[in-house]
Amino acid sequence: MIEKRPSTCRLCSAYCPVVVTLDSGTVVKVEGNHDAPLYGGFICPKGRALPALHNNPDRLLTSMKRQPDGSYTPIPTDVAIAEIAEKLGQIIAEHGPRSVAGFIGNPSIEQVATTPVMLSLLRAIGSPMFFTMATLDQPNINVAEALHGKWEGGRMRPETLDLFVIVGGNPVISKQYFGQNPGIQIKQMMKAGTKLLVIDPRRSETARRATLHLQPIPGEDATIAAGLVHLIIEMGAVNRDFVEQNAKGLAELRQAVAPFTPAYVAERAGVPEEQLRAAAQLIAEAERCNIGTGTGTSMTGRGTLASYMFNCLQTLRGFWAGEGDEMLYSPVLLPPASPRAQPRDPIPPTGWGEKMRVRGLEQSVAGLPAAALPDEILTPGEGRIRALFAHAGVMRTMPEEERTHKAFRSLDLMVTHDVTMSPTALVSDYVLASTIAFEVPVISFIPELNSVLHPGYGYPDPFGSLQPALVEVPKGADVIDSWRLYYRIARHLGLQLRCGSLFATDGRPLDMENEPATEDIYACIADGSAVPLERIKQYPNGNVFEDARTRIGAREPGCTAQLDLGNAEMMADLATMAAEDVAMRRGTNAEYPLLLIPKRMQNVTNGTMRLEADRLRVATNPAFLHPDDLAVHGLAPGDLAELRSRHGMIEVVVEADADLRPGVLAIAHGFGRAPGQVGDTRRHGSNVNKLTSLTDDADRYSGMPRMGAIPVSLTKLRAAA
C-alpha cells in the first residue's frame, strides 16, 4: 500500500519539512513538503537520499560489544545496558562522579530527547563533565557577545535589511542565517533591494550572488573587521545617538584600530584597498544591516577577536532591532519572551563551572572546552575521565586524530550510539544500535533552541511542528531511541531523573517505574512553551502561529547597561596583531606555501555517516585548489597527492576550483576511516584532523585550536586513475 506522510528531515539543524512516500511501511521516497510554511518545498540532496539511510544493508540492527582482540560481537541491547550500568557504578564508586563524561554532536540533532536525558543522568550522578561540538565550531560567537554585551532586542529581521554581511560562511550550503530554502531567501531578499557583502577566500555559492565580494587571505577576518571599524570612524559614519546612549569605550576602540589603515589592511589581508573602502561605504550607507560570521572565521584563528570586532561594527552603526520591531526569533516551544530595545552589560566569558586539569582551561559561556577532553582522559590523577558516552562523530571531527584515538582507547568505558560501525563506533567498548530518522517522532525544538545560542539559526517566523514516527523498526531489530540508554542506566543504578528545558538545572521527575514515551520527554523539554504542544500537534505540516509573534518593547527608564566597544583584552589583542610579524604569524613559507581552509559540501553532513546513494555522488573529500596552483605543483584533477602540515600528513585527491583564491587549499572535514583501518582515499576520503593539533593557536577562552588557515605542502603521488 502506497501512502504519503509529512515529517521532517533531521540530517542538519535546518529541519526541512518533507513528504515521505511509504510502500507497505518501507521508506521509498522523500520530497520537500510544499504544504509546509516558510520552506517553499525546499529539500537538499541529502534529504532526498534518506531512503538509502533507512534501507542501508550495513545498518546496525543489534548492539555490539568490543572483544579483547578488538573485534565486535552482537549483544542484546538490554544486556549491554545492564553491563554498562554495572561498570559505570564501579567507576563512580572508585573514581568519583567527575570520572564520567558525556559528549554531544551533530547526530544528536536527529534524536532530540538524547541531550536532556543524558544531562539528567550526569546531574543525577553528580558529574559536571558535559561536552558538545559547540566549542569546536563557533564558540567565539558566545564569547564575543559576553565580552561586548548583548542587545536584548536581538538582530534585525532579514526582510527589513538594506544590507547583509556574511563573513567566512556559505549559507547557500550550510543554511546558517538562512535556514529555510537559503537560495530562494537570498534571491528574494536581494530582489527586494537588500545588498549582500561576502568576505570569503572562495567565490562560494553565496559569494556568487554578492553585491560585493572580498576574497582575502585566510585568517585575516579580524584584520578586515578592524579595518572596517577604522573606516567607519574615519568616515564619520558612527551612529552617535545610539552609541552615546548604549555603549562605552569608543575612544579606546578608535585608538586601537588606528594602525589598521586601508593601505595596511589591503596589503596584509590581500584585498584591494578600493574594495575595502567600497565595503565600508555599503555599511555606512545602510540603515538596517546584519553581520554574520561563519565557521571559516571561527576556525582560522582569532575567531573571538573577529567576532567581537564585527559586534562593535554593528553597534557603531546601531544595527540592532529597535522598539516596535518584530523579534527575529519569536518563541514557540521555548517560554514566552519580553525583549526590550536595550543592552545588557558584558559578562565574564569564563568561570561558569568546572575548571579543567589541563592548560588552564575552564567552562566558558560556550560550554566545557571539548579540545581539553583527550588530555582530561590521558592525564593521570584525581578527576581523570574514565567513562565517556558519545552521541557524536568524534573520531571524524575532533582535532589531532592520533591523540584523540589514544585517549578514547585508554578509557575504562566508552559507549556510543550509531547506525553503522563508524570510526567512532570502532573505538568504543559498546555500540548501542539506534533508531533512525522516520522511526523517531520529531519536534521543531532544535532550530528554536539554537536561535538562543547562535544568531544564525532559528525560525524567523514563529513556526512549530510535532510529528509522530512514521515507520516501525525493521522486523527482528534490537534498536532503541538513544535517550533510553541513559534512562535505563539510571534505573539500574537506582537514580531519579528529572527532565526539563535544557536551560533548567531541574525539571519534572520522570517515572522511573514505567518507561516514558519519547513524546513524554518532548513534553518535558517544552514545559512552559509559548504555544502549547497540544495546539502544535493539530498541524501535521507545521504552522506559523501568528499570535506568538513578539514585538520589541521600549527601553526601561532606569536602564544603565552599556555595550563595551573597548574591552581591554580585545584592545590588547588588536595591539598584538598590529605589531606582529605577519609572515611568522601566518606560517607559510617555501616548505608550506599553501593555506588550508575548511569547506562544506552540499551532499554530505560533516562527521555523520555517508549515504552511499548514486544521486549523492560523494565518495571522497577532494582537496580543491585554483588551477594555477595545480599547475605549479605539477598536478591534474584526480591526481593523488600527499598533503602535509607541521602536525601530520594525509593522502588526498586533488581537484580544480577556479573560484578559490590562489594559494588556498579547501577541503571538507569529517571524512576518513578509523585509525588502523585500511582505507582507499578515492572511496573513503581523508581525515583532515591528522593535520591539526589540539594546542595550535588555541583560543584562550574556549580552548578551540586552529582548524583552518593551516600552512600545508602538497606533493604529487600518483596520476588520476
pLDDT band at 604 (very low <50, low <70, confident <90, very high): low
Query: Taking residues 488-492, what's their average pLDDT?
Result: 98
Separation CA 653–CA 637 (nearest Å): 8
- Predicted local confidence at residue 108, as pLDDT: 85
Cell digits of residue 643: 598533503
Q: Dihedral angle at the C-alpha atoms of 291, 294, 297, 302, nearest 10 degrees?
A: 80
Ranges for all domains in the chain classified under CATH 2.40.40.20: 587-718
For residue 380, pLDDT beyond 80: yes
pLDDT band of residue 617 (cuts 50, 70, 90) is low
CA proximity to 221, closest of 289, 294, 156, 277? 294
How would residue 461 be classed by pLDDT, with cut points 50, 70 and 90? very high
Fold of 62-128+369-443+466-541: Rossmann fold (3.40.50)
Within the chain, which residue ranges are assigned CATH 3.40.228.10? 139-345+562-568
State the average pLDDT over residues 461-482: 96
Q: How many CA atoms lie within 13 A of 358 on its CB side?
A: 22
Mean pLDDT, residues 228-242 taken together: 98
- Helices marked H in 500-636: 518-525, 533-536, 568-579, 582-586, 627-632
> Cα(539)–Cα(552) distance, rounded to whole angstroms?
28
- d(CA 185, CA 460) in angstroms, rounded, equals 11
The model's confidence at residue 605, banded by pLDDT at 50, 70 and 90, is: low
pLDDT number for residue 374: 98
Residue 613 is predicted with a pLDDT of 44
Ranges 113-117, 207-211, 500-504, 671-675: which has the least confidence: 500-504
For the cut 70, the answer to whether the pLDDT of residue 227 exceeds it is yes
The class of domain 587-718 in CATH terms is mainly beta
Domain 1-55 has CATH 3.30.200.210: yes
Task: Return the closest-CA partner of residue 88 out of 410, 412, 384, 409.
Answer: 412
pLDDT band at 721 (very low <50, low <70, confident <90, very high): low
> 139-345+562-568: what fold?
Dimethylsulfoxide Reductase; domain 2 (3.40.228)
pLDDT at 433 over 90: yes
Q: What is the pLDDT of residue 22?
A: 95
What is the β-pairing status of strands 350-355 and 362-364? antiparallel
Average pLDDT, the chain: 94
pLDDT value at residue 699: 97
Q: CATH 3.30.200.210 spans which residues of the chain?
A: 1-55
Residue whose grid cell is 549559507 = 171
**pLDDT value of position 502:** 67
In which residue ranges of the chain is CATH 3.40.50.740 found? 62-128+369-443+466-541
Contact 395, 608 (CB under 8 A): no
Query: Residue 676: its pLDDT value, please?
Result: 82
Q: Are 312 and 567 in contact (CB under 8 A)?
A: no
Is a pLDDT exceeding 60 seen at residue 556? Answer: yes
* pLDDT band at residue 619 using 50, 70 and 90 as cut-offs: confident
328-341 tens-digit pLDDT: 999 999 999 999 99
The contacts of residue 463 (CB under 8 Å, 6+ apart) are: 37, 38, 332, 444, 542, 543, 544, 545
**φ/ψ of residue 386, rounded to 5:** -125, -15
Burial (CB count within 10 angstroms: exposed 0-12, middle 13-18, buried 19+), residue 126: exposed
How confident is the model at residue 606, as a pLDDT?
Answer: 58
